[in-house]
């Protein structure tokens, strides 16, 4: 009797949990079923409302709360600014932010959105590999019908949208678009009596400049350059000629850049990778320490620098006098080509108020959102002269013309464009980047391994 009871108990718990685990997509629970029917019923209604011109009035009657997934609320100024501006423009909408932290943001988000139980309406998409994962898991809503009914002209994003289109559908709208520049510390150049870098440098000129300004004296070391431990900081010099991308499967074009950086390490022109890795040194700490002359980094660092110098978090006597220039370029390639990273907003497929969520996404990525972004010192996806003017006019932005000019990008290549297995490719490149930089493999061995492993992924 008891044996049977125990058996039944075990069997039921097992069944229950298996169901809870695997059936989630099929919406097996009553809660999920009601959720999906609710969506069906509210959707057309919301669309009707959107079609009618007096949206604001109709919405005013019905309070809406949108749940929005973000990261690092305390140190990123624009989340709060966007929320407040949107709520001011749409009094019936309350935007609730949930901070998932930046370290494993996309992992955490993917977990949140798997199966039932998530209540996010809008999620921020931090990188393309994570985006690819979310799309393949069917957790994001295709935005095409919303985009066409809202009459959005996608050409305003300068073609970036095409690099994240999946089988003809778009699942996110970019609202932020960062590009890589070279930051430099004017005080160091002044002290060394070396001319500042310019907006038109070849890699040879850049390398020579780094060597000129560096000072390897022990105890008073000054580094000519600094490369953060990300692979983007070294490898992706190679994609600036527009002929290669990281989805190629053949990475021989990385070689000259690895050789340049490793040689700089050997000559103590830059900190070596093993040290950086052991410390987990953050790039902001490296630059604000006042012993790095030049550092290639994304434009997101501009607002961080300005804010932290203003607040006294960074010692202004060490890094307060900074400037920036365009990325160096290979011989025969136009200056101003650089790497870009977009940040987008997406609507979840479980959201019960997709139209309201899309309205918010649309607003943030539109000209109005762009202005808010620019005022906090960040680069919106909708970049134009006015926006550039707002940013370069901000308190703390370097006032020389070179730095202002550095904001004009001629060609933008995404660090990681969309591909179905981009997540795996990304990790392979990361792994062998580590091996090469840690000197576990020679440059040739590392690149050969990248070619092999990515070849396997692409062959699948």
Partner 1 sequence: MDAKKAARMEKLEVESADLMKQIRIEMDMKKKQKLIAKRESVQRKATAIRNNRRISREAKRDLVAYSFIAPNFIGFAVFTLVPIVFAFLLAFMKWDGNNTMEFVALNNFKRLIGDTFFVAALKNTIIYVIGTVPLTMIASLALAIVLNQKIRARGFFRTVAFFPYVASLVAITAVWSMIFHPSKGPINYLLLNVFGVPQANLPKWFGGGLVLFTLILFSVWKYMGYYMVIYLAGLQGISAELYEAGSLDGASTWQKFKFITWPQLRATTFFVVVMLTINCFKVYDIAIMLAGGGDGKLSISSTVLVYYIYQNAFNYWDLGYSSAIAMVLFVLVLIVTLIQFRYEKKLGE
Partner 2 sequence: MGNNVSTKKFKSKERNKIAGKVGVYLILLIITAIMIVPFLWMLSASIKSNREVFLMDPFVWIPEVPKWDNYIKIWTKIPLLQFVQNTVFLTIVVTFLQLLTSSFAAYSFAKLEFKHKNILFLAYISTIAMPWQVYMVPQFIMMRGMGLNDKLLAMICLQAFSAFGVFLMKQFYEGIPNDLCEAARIDGMSEYRIYLKIMLPLSKPALSTLTIFTFVNTWNDYLGPLIYLKTETKKTIQLGLKMFIGQYSAEYGLIMAGSVVSLVPVILVFLCLQKYFVEGVASTGLKG
- The site for partner 2 (CB under 8 A) is made up of 2-3, 6, 17, 19-21, 24, 75, 98-101, 103-104, 108, 111-112, 114-117, 279-282, 285-286, 289
Q: How far apart are CA 91 and CA 59, in angstroms?
A: 9
Q: Are 245 and 417 in contact (CB under 8 A)?
A: yes
If the CB atoms of residues 22 and 60 are measured against partner 1, the closer one turns out to be: 22
User: From the list partner 2, partner 1, none, which binds 289 (C-beta under 5 to 8 Å, kind-based)?
Assistant: partner 2
Long-range contact set of residues 30-36: C-beta below 8 Å, sequence gap at least 24: 31/116, 32/116, 35/116, 35/350, 35/352
Query: Should residue 440 be labelled a site residue for partner 1 when binding is judged by CB under 8 A?
Result: yes
User: From the list partner 2, partner 1, none, which binds 394 (C-beta under 5 to 8 Å, kind-based)?
Assistant: none
* Binding residue (CB under 8 A) for partner 1 from 37, 65, 107, 410: 107
* Binding residue (CB under 8 A) for partner 1 from 7, 8, 13, 48: 13
* Binding residue (CB under 8 A) for partner 1 from 27, 194, 247, 281: 281
If the CB atoms of residues 3 and 51 are measured against partner 2, the closer one turns out to be: 3
If the CB atoms of residues 204 and 279 are measured against partner 1, the closer one turns out to be: 279
Q: How far apart are CA 302 and CA 300, in angstroms?
A: 5
Over the window 361 to 400, marking each residue x when it contacts partner 1 by CB under 8 A and - when it does not, the resulting string is ----------------------------------------
Q: How far apart are CA 240 and CA 232, in angstroms?
A: 12
Strand, coil or helix: 205? helix
Strand, coil or helix: 184? strand
| Shortest separation between residue 158's beta carbon and partner 1, angstroms | 29
Query: Should residue 275 be labelled a site residue for partner 1 when binding is judged by CB under 8 A?
Result: yes
Q: How far apart are CA 178 and CA 306, in angstroms?
A: 16
Query: Should residue 89 be labelled a site residue for partner 1 when binding is judged by CB under 8 A?
Result: no
Q: How far apart are CA 133 and CA 126, in angstroms?
A: 12
| Shortest separation between residue 382's beta carbon and partner 2, angstroms | 30
Query: Should residue 36 be labelled a site residue for partner 1 when binding is judged by CB under 8 A?
Result: no
If the CB atoms of residues 98 and 451 are measured against partner 2, the closer one turns out to be: 98
* Binding residue (CB under 8 A) for partner 1 from 162, 243, 263, 456: 456
User: From the list partner 1, partner 2, none, which binds 20 (C-beta under 5 to 8 Å, kind-based)?
Assistant: partner 2
In angstroms, the Cα distances linking 300 to 239, 240, 377, 448 are 20, 19, 8, 33
Q: How far apart are CA 87 and CA 56, in angstroms?
A: 12
If the CB atoms of residues 24 and 94 are measured against partner 2, the closer one turns out to be: 24
Phi, psi dihedrals of residue 271, rounded to the nearest 5°: -60, 145
Query: Should residue 163 be labelled a site residue for partner 1 when binding is judged by CB under 8 A?
Result: no
User: From the list partner 2, partner 1, none, which binds 423 (C-beta under 5 to 8 Å, kind-based)?
Assistant: partner 1
Q: How far apart are CA 240 and CA 220, in angstroms?
A: 34
Query: Should residue 230 be labelled a site residue for partner 1 when binding is judged by CB under 8 A?
Result: yes
* Strand blocks (E) in 186-266: 223-226
Query: Should residue 289 be labelled a site residue for partner 1 when binding is judged by CB under 8 A?
Result: no
For partner 1, the binding residues (CB under 8 A) are 2, 10, 13-14, 17-18, 21-22, 24-26, 103, 107, 110-111, 113-115, 133, 136-139, 229-230, 272-282, 423-424, 427, 430-432, 434-435, 438-440, 449, 452-453, 456
């Amino acid at each position: 009797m008891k044996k049977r009871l125990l058996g039944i108990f075990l069997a039921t718990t097992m069944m229950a949990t298996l169901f809870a685990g695997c059936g989630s997509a099929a919406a097996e629970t009553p809660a999920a079923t009601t959720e999906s029917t609710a969506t069906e019923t509210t959707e057309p209604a919301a669309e009707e409302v959107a079609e009618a011109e007096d949206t604001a009035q109709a919405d005013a009657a019905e309070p809406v709360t949108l749940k929005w997934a973000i990261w690092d609320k305390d140190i990123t100024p624009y989340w709060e600014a966007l929320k407040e501006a949107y709520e001011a423009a749409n009094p019936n909408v309350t935007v609730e932010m949930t901070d998932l932290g930046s370290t494993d943001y996309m992992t955490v988000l993917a977990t949140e959105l798997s199966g039932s139980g998530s209540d996010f309406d809008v999620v921020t998409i931090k990188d393309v590999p994570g985006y690819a994962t979310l799309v393949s898991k069917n957790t994001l809503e295709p935005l095409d019908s919303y985009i066409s009914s809202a009459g959005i002209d996608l050409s305003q994003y300068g073609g970036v949208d095409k690099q994240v289109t999946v089988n003809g559908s778009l699942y996110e709208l970019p609202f932020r678009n960062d590009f890589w520049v070279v930051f430099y510390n004017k005080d160091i150049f002044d002290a060394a009596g070396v001319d500042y870098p310019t907006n038109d440098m070849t890699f040879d000129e850049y390398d020579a400049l780094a060597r000129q300004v560096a000072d390897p004296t022990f105890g008073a070391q000054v580094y000519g350059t600094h490369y953060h431990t990300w692979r983007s900081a070294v490898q992706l010099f190679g994609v600036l000629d527009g002929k290669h991308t990281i989805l190629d499967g053949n990475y021989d074009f990385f070689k000259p850049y690895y050789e340049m950086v490793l040689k700089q390490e050997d000559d103590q022109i830059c900190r070596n990778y093993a040290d950086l890795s052991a410390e987990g040194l953050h790039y902001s700490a490296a630059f604000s320490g006042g012993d790095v002359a030049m550092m290639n980094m994304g434009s997101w660092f501009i607002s961080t620098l300005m804010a932290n110098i203003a607040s006294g978090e960074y010692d202004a006597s060490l890094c307060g006098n900074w400037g920036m220039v365009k990325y160096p370029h290979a011989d025969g390639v136009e200056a101003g080509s650089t790497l870009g990273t977009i940040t987008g907003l997406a609507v979840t497929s479980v959201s019960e108020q997709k139209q309201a969520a899309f309205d918010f996404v649309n607003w943030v990525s539109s000209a109005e959102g762009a202005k808010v972004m620019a005022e906090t010192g960040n680069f919106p996806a909708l970049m134009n002269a006015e926006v550039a003017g707002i940013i370069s006019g901000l308190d703390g932005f370097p006032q020389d013309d070179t730095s202002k000019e550095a904001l004009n990008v001629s060609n933008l290549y995404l660090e990681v464009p969309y591909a179905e297995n981009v997540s795996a490719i990304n990790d392979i490149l990361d792994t062998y980047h580590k091996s090469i930089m840690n000197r576990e493999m020679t440059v040739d061995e590392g690149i050969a391994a990248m070619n092999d492993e990515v070849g396997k992924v692409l062959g699948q």
